[in-house]
């Protein structure tokens, strides 16, 4: 049994449960995936499996070291690879060339979805941290500034971790404990309850939840 699967985020929609209630779900194009490498404790020091998402990749986009590794494993080149640990199932019968499909997952199961949040560039403290800002009238000149970031006499420096403007988004985010609502095996689509980090079309890792 594979510890997870790779895919892309399709987008959000809604479905109805058995009681007719609306359930917000995120559709994930999960797989098909192929095992590129099986790591063992004897050889690599830990148990893990490296999966590659099956999708077309032009030969000119694959460098020689990667092409040799894919050829040695007997699989087609993959653009998106991810390694999943097998700490909970070190004796999993997985080897290079095996395929992992969405049909391995069932409704009611809990999964963790790992993605990259939307990048928003450099932002100020109001958008980045939710600061309230200063007055907008009476000659105020502190509309969206952060205010004091330190003291003059002591400690005479800006303390580490002070909230200021900076890069926002574009970070690796893990949403844990999402419930699988439906699995469409013919199209390799998994519907999970709730939201998933990242933009539509971005790569995600779906792994079996440990909680």
The sheet with strand 81-85 has its strands ordered as: 81-85, 48-53, 33-39, 99-100
pLDDT for position 173: 93
β-bridge pairing 110-116 and 203-208: antiparallel
Kindly tell me the number of DSSP H helices and DSSP E strands found in the chain: 3, 12
Token digits of residue 166: 């900076």
DSSP annotation of 88: S
Residues 193 and 178 sit within 8 Å (Cβ to Cβ): yes
Tokens 């000119």 appear where? 60
pLDDT for position 175: 92
Work out the mean pLDDT of the chain and round it to a whole number. 88
- pLDDT band for position 127 (cuts 50, 70, 90): very high
pLDDT for position 192: 93
DSSP annotation of 48: E
pLDDT for position 11: 92
pLDDT for position 90: 64
- Summarised one tens digit per residue, pLDDT across range 23-66 is 999 999 987 888 888 888 888 888 888 888 888 878 788 888 88
> What are the structural domains, with CATH classification, of the chain?
4-119+169-208 (2.40.30.10), 124-166 (no CATH)
Residues 180 and 108 sit within 8 Å (Cβ to Cβ): yes
Burial 143-166 (b: 16+ CB within 10 A, else e): eeebeeeeeeeeeeeeeeeeeebe
Residues 7 and 28 sit within 8 Å (Cβ to Cβ): yes
pTM summary value: 0.81
Residues 177 and 196 sit within 8 Å (Cβ to Cβ): no
**In the chain, % of residues over pLDDT 70:** 98
- Summarised one tens digit per residue, pLDDT across range 137-178 is 999 888 999 988 888 888 889 999 999 999 999 999 999 999
Sign of CA dihedral 145, 151, 152, 158: negative
Q: How many CA atoms lie within 13 A of 91 on its CB side?
A: 0
pLDDT for position 12: 93
């Amino acid at each position: 049994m594979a510890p997870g699967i790779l895919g892309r985020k399709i987008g959000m929609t809604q479905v109805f449960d058995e009681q007719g209630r609306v359930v917000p779900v995120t559709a994930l194009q999960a797989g098909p995936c192929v095992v590129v490498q099986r790591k063992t404790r004897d050889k690599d020091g830990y148990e893990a499996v490296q999966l590659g998402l099956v999708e077309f990749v032009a030969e000119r986009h694959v460098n020689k070291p990667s092409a040799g590794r894919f050829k040695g494993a007997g699989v087609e080149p993959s653009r998106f690879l991810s390694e999943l640990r097998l700490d909970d199932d070190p004796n999993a019968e997985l080897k290079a060339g095996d395929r992992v499909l969405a049909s391995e997952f069932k409704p009611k199961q809990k999964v963790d979805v790992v993605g990259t949040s939307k990048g928003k560039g450099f932002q100020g403290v109001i958008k980045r941290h939710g600061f309230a800002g200063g007055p907008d009238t009476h000659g105020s000149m502190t509309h969206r500034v952060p205010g004091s970031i330190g003291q003059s006499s002591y400690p005479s420096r800006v303390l580490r971790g002070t909230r200021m403007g900076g890069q926002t988004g574009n970070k690796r985010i893990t949403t844990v404990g999402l419930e699988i609502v439906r699995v469409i095996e013919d199209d390799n689509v998994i519907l999970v309850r709730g939201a998933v980090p990242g933009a539509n079309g971005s790569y995600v890792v779906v792994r079996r939840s440990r909680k």
